[in-house]
């Protein structure tokens, strides 16, 4: 059996491709691009929610929010480790992010303007992420699939805490309910865009499905998310900001109106409301920390032979 045939056989048998296995160059490149983008999203994703840590309205909410943001940083770590099994380092990937050569999810380029955004992000953004990530627990690359299994366990808590914030606000005062509706209005469409361009225009989807990196298409996942989420919005007593939204009896799906793909591509190109700020914040933190990382390296080098040196 040639290496190519072995690779195809692994996919055909629904087994996992492991780092030691031969894989086509393009498969490796696609995975690096996708896992890196995913890792960067977790890391940049700390910012919009981190924006409310100091202002959380109760100590319980504050603790939950800190724990959630901490989880996201942890997800970044798992994913960078998965990417490293493909022969690229975390530092290299970060450099690509900082240079604007790799992307992160566009959803994080929207600002968090009220406390209700913490609810909407957990409910919708984490909800959309889970829809995608549950599929990825079955992805063909072993280390990626295993990272996803760990991540999915934590994501469902993220989604629940977000929905719980929305539920509290929706059942609260008129001001709180307005806050919740405003957040839904702003986060609904960007959340639908999280699944990426429609299948007809998606350059990567078809090949990714063949390689079993993706097991479902963008449009399939988007529909699944809408079907799950619309009844939740109704339960909250909130209005989904889509005049075309309706239940389609025949297909058993919620049908939604046209997505503004121009907005999507503008944000992808870097022209979203917070693209500049998010990347600048990340680069600033990295540059501000350079002397700290240098010191850690210098210290480790000085004490490389020191058996008493215990590092935490």
Partner 1 sequence: MSDPLLTYLLRLGDDSLILAQRLGELVSHQPDLEEDIAVANLALDLIGQARALYAYAGEVEGRGRTEDDLAFLRDEREFFNAVLCEQPNGDFGQTMARQLLFDAYRLPLMDALTASADETISGVAGKAVKECRYHLQHSITWVVRLGDGTEESHRRMQAGLDAMWRFTDELFTGDEVEATLAASGIAVDPSSLRDPWEATIKEVLARATLERPVDPRQRGGGRQGMHSEHLGHILPEMQFLQRAYPGQSW
Q: Which of residues 20-49 bind partner 1 (CB under 8 A)?
A: 43, 46-47
Give the nearest distance from C-beta 111 to partner 1 in angstroms: 15
The kind and range of the H/E element at 202 are none
Is residue 296 part of the contact set for partner 1 (CB under 8 A)?
Answer: yes
Nearer to Fe ion, 224 or 242 (CB): 224
75 touches, from Fe ion, partner 1, none (C-beta below 5 to 8 Å by class) = Fe ion
Task: Give phi and psi for 221, each to the nearest 5.
Answer: -65, -40
SS (H, E, C) 112-174: CCCCHHHHHHHHHHHHHHHHHHHHHCCCCEHHHHHHHHHHHHHHHHHHHHHHHHHHHHHCCCH
Nearer to Fe ion, 137 or 239 (CB): 137
**C-beta neighbour count of 121 within 10 angstroms:** 27
Is residue 293 part of the contact set for partner 1 (CB under 8 A)? yes
**Interface with partner 1 includes 172 (CB under 8 A)?**
yes
Please, which residue, 39 or 230, has the CB nearer to partner 1? Answer: 39
Of 250, 288, 304, 307, the residue at the interface with partner 1 (CB under 8 A) is 288
Answer whether 233's CB lies under 8 Å from 240's CB. yes
Contact assessment for residue 222 and residue 192, using Cβ atoms and an 8 Å cutoff: yes
Please say which residue, 157 or 286, places its beta carbon nearer to partner 1: 286
Q: How near is the Cβ of 293 to Fe ion at its closest, in Å?
A: 24
Count of residues that interact with partner 1, criterion CB under 8 A:
51
Q: 66 or 135: whose CB is closer to partner 1? A: 66
Minimal distance in Å, beta carbon 251 to partner 1?
39
Q: Are 205 and 219 in contact (CB under 8 A)?
A: no
CB-based contacts of 128, cutoff 8 Å, min separation 6? 107, 191, 192, 194, 195, 225
98 binds partner 1 (CB under 8 A): no
Residue 100: left if φ>0, alpha if ψ -120 to 50, beta else—which one? left
To partner 1, the closest distance from the beta carbon of 155 in angstroms equals 17
**Dihedral sign, CA of 141, 208, 45, 66?**
negative
Q: Does 72 bind Fe ion (CB under 5 A)?
A: yes
Q: Confirm if 68 and 121 have CB atoms less than 8 A apart.
A: no
How many other CB atoms are there within 10 angstroms of residue 103's CB atom? 16
How far from 31 is each of 65, 87, 218, 226, CA to CA, in Å? 30, 11, 17, 27
Q: Map residues 24-43 to x or -, x wherever contact with Fe ion holds by CB under 5 A.
A: ------------------x-
Residue 299 partner contact from partner 1, Fe ion, none using kind-dependent CB cut-offs of 5 to 8 Å: partner 1
Q: What residues numbered 246-305 form the site for Fe ion, per CB under 5 A?
A: none
User: Quick one: 234 exposed, middle or buried, by C-beta within 10 A (0-12, 13-18, 19+)?
Assistant: exposed
Q: 226-245 mask for Fe ion (x: CB under 5 A)?
A: --------------------
Q: Is 222 in the site for Fe ion (CB under 5 A)?
A: no
Question: Which parts of this chain interact with partner 1 (CB under 8 A)?
Answer: 43, 46-47, 50, 53-63, 66-67, 69-70, 73-74, 76-77, 80, 115, 165, 168-169, 172-173, 175-176, 281, 284-286, 288-296, 298-299, 302-303, 311-312
């Amino acid at each position: 059996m040639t290496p190519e045939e072995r690779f195809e056989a692994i996919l055909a048998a629904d087994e996992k491709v492991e780092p030691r296995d031969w894989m086509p160059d393009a498969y490796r490149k696609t995975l690096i691009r996708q896992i890196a983008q995913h890792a960067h999203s977790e890391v940049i994703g700390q910012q919009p929610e981190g924006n409310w840590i100091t202002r959380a309205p109760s100590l319980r909410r504050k603790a939950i929010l800190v724990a959630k943001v901490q989880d996201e940083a942890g997800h970044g770590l798992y994913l960078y480790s998965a990417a490293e099994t493909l022969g690229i380092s975390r530092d290299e990937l970060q450099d690509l992010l900082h240079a604007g050569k790799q992307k992160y999810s566009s959803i994080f380029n929207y600002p968090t303007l009220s406390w209700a955004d913490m609810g909407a992000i957990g409910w919708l953004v984490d909800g959309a992420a889970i829809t995608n990530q549950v599929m990825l627990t079955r992805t063909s690359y072993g280390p990626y699939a295993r990272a996803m299994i760990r991540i999915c366990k934590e994501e469902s808590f993220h989604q629940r805490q977000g929905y719980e914030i929305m539920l509290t606000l929706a059942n609260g005062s008129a001001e709180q309910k307005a806050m919740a509706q405003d957040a839904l209005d702003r986060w609904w469409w960007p959340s639908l865009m999280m699944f990426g361009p429609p299948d007809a225009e998606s350059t990567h989807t078809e090949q990714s499905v063949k390689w079993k990196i993706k097991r479902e298409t963008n449009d399939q996942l988007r529909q699944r998310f809408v079907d799950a989420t619309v009844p939740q919005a109704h339960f909250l007593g909130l209005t989904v900001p889509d005049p075309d939204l309706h239940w389609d009896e025949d297909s058993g799906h919620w049908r939604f109106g046209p997505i503004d793909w121009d907005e999507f591509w503008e944000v992808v190109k870097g022209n979203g409301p917070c693209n500049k700020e998010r990347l600048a914040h990340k680069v600033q933190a990295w540059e501000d920390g350079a002397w700290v990382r240098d010191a850690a390296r210098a210290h480790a080098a000085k004490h490389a032979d020191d058996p008493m040196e215990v590092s935490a």
